[in-house]
Structures are given as structure tokens and as C-alpha cells.
């Protein structure tokens, strides 16, 4: 199917919380069979994280629900000898294994890449960590906020008088997970298959800071926090109106001229402080103040419609609920409804549209160990063996 290019690919998801689960969720939405391999009794830590205490108690926390639909769940104690043997058996049937333990953990369990590659030479082994599998920081904890700080993101977020600021969602986890999903998808195309992917969240984040990094490395410009101002042009940033803020990106001269004329501020076009792009950049704060004298006279939606109509890129600054209710997003169907324990639950689907179709989760996030019988039986274990393994806490 157009929306399932990874159909037939089996992914073992040994990950916890966000970066790894988000990676594997994207693979699941692309059609891969994703099997979560979780610790018996507790499972993914995200099962007890989220804003709803009752869901946390039930092991289906909102943080877990967000990126674990369309997956299966089995339990396995990988510290036990029988558990190690079962993981090796499972690897023989897999195409991909994704883990986000600290570097060295899988090797200490005697389940590292070289060991598992002996079971399946075509295995794509993806290790996600905060800072990579080697280097002086490899053993440091990889929490999102730590990575945001170390990668430099916080130093350029906020205004000069408020930075450093954390980006308002787990940027490093999400970018790291998306990078890993991209890397896995790429490795699946290799012939022959089989590789070790070392994904560092910090490096994934720095890679997305392209202009900031290049301006420093090539142009010698020290990165700084500029609030809502686009440092490449002016007027380009966030402006106040009579009710809510809007973003205006008048990056070209003709857009700047159209903006000034529409606001009835033609005199600004003749002001030497604003004559060129560089002049406007140098005097951007004074220019914003001048433009807001006019912008504050009317509502945001009016300005957005009129300025976009003139070819001046403009958009409202929306809250998350407003963004989710926006007719553009709602009309394209990014958010779908799925039955979870008899309850209609809204979850995000794939951000990719293929041939006009978007892949949406068809199966609810799994209960812990919900697929133990099906998966382990498929690999040849009998009911008696499964009962014994469950009794001994191996699964």
C-alpha cells in the first residue's frame, strides 16, 4: 500500500520514554511491524508518565499513548540467561533493533551489536543516545533538557534579557528520534543489509541549527538570543495587534514596501534608517515600534488576510489548542480518532502524506505484554514453556 512502504519489516523496539519510542512510532506508521520489548512488571517508563494519574496507575500514561499506537508489546528480562537466549531468538526474525540505553549497557548484558549480528548478519542495529557511543561525554545522562543546554539550543532561545531558555517541548528527544527513523529507513534500502547506526541526540539537534552554525563557522558571527526577531531580515518577526500577536516576514524589498504602504506609513520608505535591508536590520526595534503604531489599531485576523493578499507573508501566533483546531490542520487529517479501551482517543498520525493518503494508527497502544503469547508462540515456544517463563519472571 502507498502508506505502508515498510510493510514486511520487523522492528524490535527496546526503547523507553520518547526518543526511541518516537522513532519506532514513525516506522510503525510507515507499515513496519514494531514489537516493543519491555521489562516484565513495569515496561516502558512512559507508561506511568503524563497528566492523568489514573492512566498512569493503569500503566497507560498519556506520555506512552502519544507514540506507541500501532505497536505490539512483549515482556522480557534481558538480564537473565533465558531472557538473553530469547532475545537472540527474536533477533533472528527481525530486520531492525532500536535501543536507547546508555552506551555500553547492551554490551554489558552480552547483547551488543557484535553478539546480535552473529545471530542475524542483516540486522540493522540503531543505538540512540544523548552524545554518541564514544567520546568523553558518552556516559552522561541524556535527558532532553540536558541535551538542549549542551547543544547550544538554550543559549539562542529567548530574548537577550531572558536567554537561556528551554524550547517548550522535548526538542532533542523528538529530533533525535526522527533522525533515527530516517537513518533506519535509509539502512533498509542498502544491499546487503546490516549495519550499526550511532545516533547522538546532541548531534541531531546541532545538525538542524544549520544557519546558526554556519554563520558562526563560516562568517564568524557569534550566535545569540534574538527573541522573535528573524536576524536575516527586517521587518521580520512578531508584532502586536489590537488582540493577538502576528508574525510578519517582509523579507524582500517589495514586501517591505507593500507593508509600509498598506499600513499607511509611506513616510518610512523615505527614512534613511530603513532605506536598505541592512539599515532595517540595524534599526529593527525602532522599526517594529513604528509599525505597531498602525498594527495595534486592528485585529490580527484582519491583518493576516489583507497582508497575505498583498503577498506579505503573515500569520497569527496561535496557542496549541488553536493550532489543533485550525481548519488547515483539521482539514488535512493529521489528528485521528482511535478506540482505546472503549474510549475514543485522538492521536497524531504520520506527518507524511503519500499519494494523497496519510498513514494513521489502526491499533491502540498495547497493554504491557499483550502480545507475549502470539509472538513467543510464533517463535516455537509452547504454552507450558510460556507459563514457566512467566512464573519465573523471564517474560
Q: Residue 108 to residues 67, 103, 115, 133: CA-CA distances in angstroms? A: 28, 10, 11, 14
Catalytic residue among 110, 173, 243, 253: 173
Q: Which residues pair with 38 in a beta bridge?
A: 75
Cell numbers for 281: 536590520
Query: Do residues 102 and 112 touch, judged by C-beta distance below 8 A?
Result: no
What Rg value do the Cα atoms of the chain yield, rounded? 25
Among candidates 158, 138, 182, 34, which has minimal Cα distance to 95? Answer: 34
Cell numbers for 292: 505597531
Residue 382 to residue 374: CA distance in whole angstroms:
11
Query: Do residues 46 and 61 touch, judged by C-beta distance below 8 A?
Result: yes
52 flagged as catalytic: no
Residue 173 to residue 46: CA distance in whole angstroms:
13
Q: Which residues pair with 178 in a beta bridge?
A: none
Rounded to the nearest 5 percent, the helix, strand and coil shares of the chain are: 40, 15, 45
Beta-sheet strand order (sheet of 195-200): 71-75, 33-38, 10-13, 96-99, 124-129, 195-200
Per the listing, cell 497569527 goes with 316
Question: Catalytic positions, please?
Answer: 173
Amino acid at each position: 500500500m502507498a502508506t505502508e512502504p515498510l510493510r514486511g519489516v520487523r522492528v524490535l523496539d527496546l526503547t523507553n520514554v520518547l526518543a526511541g519510542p518516537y522513532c519506532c512510532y514513525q516506522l510503525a506508521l510507515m507499515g513496519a511491524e514494531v514489537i516493543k520489548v519491555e521489562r516484565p512488571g513495569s515496561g516502558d517508563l512512559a507508561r506511568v508518565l503524563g497528566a492523568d494519574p489514573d492512566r498512569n496507575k493503569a500503566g497507560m500514561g498519556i506520555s506512552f499513548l502519544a507514540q506507541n499506537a500501532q505497536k505490539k508489546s512483549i515482556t522480557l528480562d534481558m538480564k537473565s540467561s533465558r531472557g538473553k537466549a530469547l532475545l537472540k531468538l527474536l533477533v533472528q526474525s527481525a530486520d531492525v533493533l532500536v535501543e536507547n540505553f546508555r552506551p555500553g549497557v547492551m554490551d554489558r548484558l552480552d547483547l551488543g551489536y557484535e553478539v546480535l549480528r552473529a545471530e542475524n548478519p542483516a540486522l540493522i542495529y540503531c543505538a540512540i543516545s544523548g552524545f554518541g557511543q564514544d567520546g568523553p561525554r558518552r556516559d552522561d545522562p541524556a535527558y532532553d533538557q540536558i541535551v538542549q543546554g549542551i547543544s547550544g539550543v538554550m543559549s539562542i532561545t529567548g530574548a537577550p534579557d531572558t536567554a537561556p531558555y528551554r524550547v517548550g517541548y522535548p526538542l532533542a528527544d523528538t529530533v533525535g528520534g526522527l533522525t533515527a527513523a530516517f537513518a533506519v529507513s535509509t539502512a533498509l534500502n542498502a544491499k546487503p543489509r546490516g549495519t550499526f547506526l550511532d545516533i547522538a541526540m546532541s548531534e541531531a539537534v546541532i545538525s538542524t541549527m544549520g544557519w546558526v552554525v554556519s554563520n558562526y563557522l563560516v562568517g564568524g558571527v557569534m550566535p545569540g538570543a534574538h527573541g522573535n526577531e528573524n536576524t536575516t531580515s527586517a521587518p521580520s518577526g512578531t508584532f502586536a495587534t489590537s488582540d493577538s500577536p502576528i508574525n510578519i516576514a517582509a523579507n524582500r524589498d517589495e514586501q517591505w514596501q507593500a507593508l509600509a504602504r498598506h499600513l499607511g506609513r509611506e513616510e518610512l520608505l523615505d527614512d534613511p534608517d530603513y532605506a536598505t535591508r541592512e539599515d532595517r536590520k540595524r534599526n529593527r526595534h525602532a522599526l517594529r515600534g513604528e509599525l505597531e503604531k498602525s498594527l495595534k489599531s486592528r485585529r490580527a485576523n484582519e491583518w493576516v488576510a489583507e497582508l497575505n493578499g498583498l503577498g506579505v507573508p503573515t500569520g497569527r501566533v496561535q496557542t496549541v489548542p488553536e493550532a489543533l483546531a485550525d481548519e488547515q490542520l483539521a482539514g488535512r487529517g493529521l489528528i485521528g480518532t482511535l478506540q482505546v479501551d472503549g474510549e475514543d482517543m485522538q492521536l497524531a498520525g504520520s506527518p507524511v502524506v503519500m499519494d494523497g493518503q496519510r498513514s494513521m494508527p489502526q491499533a491502540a497502544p498495547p497493554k504491557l505484554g499483550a502480545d507475549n503469547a502470539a509472538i513467543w508462540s510464533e517463535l516455537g515456544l509452547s504454552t507450558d514453556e510460556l507459563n514457566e517463563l512467566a512464573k519465573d519472571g523471564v517474560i
